[in-house]
Amino acid sequence: MTTLTLSAGLKDAELETESPVLAVEPSGDVPVEKMDDHQLLAATLTGDEAAFRELVRRYQNQITNYVYRMLNDYDRAVDLAQETFVRVYTSAERYQATYSFSTYIYRIAHNLAISELRQRKRRRLIPFPTFFSDKDSEEIEVEIEDKRQVLADDSMIADERRLAVQKAIASLPEKYRAALVLCDIEEKSYEEISEVLDLPVGTVKSRINRARNLLKEKLKEYL
């Protein structure tokens, strides 16, 4: 039994690991800051908690931000980011070093976010006051509160626009939202998004284009 303390924002947890089969060997006395992601995960399998903390440090903000953009719920995003890293730790021995670690961890986070969204729909925890059906017969929330009054404070105007964009992204169907966030916020390449979502590149491009067009429609009063 290995007791792991996640000092970079994760709760303490006792996690049990199996015999390591990761193809990459740890890098001996190389400082964790100098290791690549594969080496850090290999070192984690040997019980090197510093190596795992370095992985958390590298990806915690990115993963939390991605899940937050998917859920529009920061507290839940923090929880699911924590769960993402716990799953990385507990399944480290099954990781294939031939794949990008970034793709691997984003895929875990994405699956957790999608599961959360689907649970919310089943429990009817998300209010959707106004809908229309697009050409794909999907329900899409399109009304954004009209706050176009003249504001003297530029920072208030910027905040208003930011919140409008945030709300518009959160209202996109999940398949479009994921592709858009990965591309325009996380700045992933089409190929990386294809791997995370397990979709052909052509489908990824189509979804991103569709998402951008939906956003333009939703935000036309702010443009």
**Which residues of the chain are under the pLDDT cut of 70?**
1-28, 124-157, 223
Contacts 24+ apart (CB under 8 A), 49-54: 49/4, 49/5, 51/26, 52/4, 52/6, 52/89, 53/6, 53/7, 53/8
| Closest residue by Cα to residue 106 from 1, 187, 206 | 187
pLDDT of residue 215: 92
Instruction: Quick: pLDDT tens for 46-82.
Output: 989 999 999 999 999 999 999 999 999 999 999 999 9
pLDDT in tens, 110-132: 999 999 999 988 875 444 444 33
Instruction: Indicate yes or no: pTM above 0.75.
Output: no
Q: Cα–Cα distance between 204 and 198 in angstroms, integer?
A: 9
**Which residue is listed with tokens 């794949």?**
99
